[in-house]
Amino acid sequence: GGEGSWEGRGRRVSMGSSAAAAVAADDEVLRRIEWWVGVSGPYDLQACMAELDANGIDPRIISAMAEGDVAGCSPLELVRAATAAGQSPPADRWPRMALYHGRADRTAPCHHSRALDEALREAGAREVRLTLYPGKSHTDPILEDPFSGADPLLRSLLALVRAGSLLPDTATPPTPGTRASAVGEPRLLPPMVPRPLVRLARWANPF
């Protein structure tokens, strides 16, 4: 996974992908940004350990990352615990939040984002938006889609940074390499590799 921050038109956006999505929501960072974006995040770390084990990946990697305190580092558990204790941060301390996840993700299934979306709403977050991509795997939004030129995630992220609002979930992606008609929607790059190679990569990718 990876994380990054951008600023566009005065709007600060922080994004984390995969494992980085679970750790990018640092409290000090959240106070300084307008949007926090999580992509394919394993927000329930305890459930993630069982899912990794089922896929043949050593779940101890999660315990090592959390320095043994898996529950204490799980974003979902932290939000739920704060809500149960009546200690949720005031809504004005939280940025707007956007969660992106592929429905075909086997590494960190999309129930992670669904559960965090529900928990954040219950905790009083001022705005949470959940977008699920049909047929997308754990790596499609950050690897296969950008290489193929058809990148709905990048399109939504750039629209957010440029215009400060997310594109509707039902928006139809423009043809790769062409300019979309709506203001703020970016031009998508042409494919970087032949499409058959992208399909082969999706077939071989274990995630």
* Antiparallel, parallel or unpaired: β 11-17 and 128-133: unpaired
- Please provide the average confidence, as pLDDT, over all residues in the chain: 75
Q: Tell me the residue type at 86.
A: G
Q: Quick one: residue 198, left, alpha or beta (phi over 0 = left, psi -120 to 50 = alpha)?
A: alpha
Predicted confidence band of residue 6 (pLDDT cuts 50, 70, 90): very low
Q: Quick one: residue 67, left, alpha or beta (phi over 0 = left, psi -120 to 50 = alpha)?
A: left
pLDDT in tens, 39-58: 988 899 888 888 888 888 88
Predicted confidence band of residue 112 (pLDDT cuts 50, 70, 90): very high
Residue 24: predicted pLDDT: 52
Q: Write out the two tokens for 170.
A: 């039902």
Residue 118: predicted pLDDT: 94
Average pLDDT over residues 102-108: 89
Residue 91: predicted pLDDT: 62
pLDDT in tens, 71-103: 888 888 888 888 888 876 666 667 888 999 999
Residue 142: predicted pLDDT: 78
Residue 207 has pLDDT above 90, yes or no: no
pLDDT in tens, 136-159: 888 888 788 888 877 787 787 777
Residue 204 has pLDDT above 60, yes or no: yes
pTM of the model: 0.74
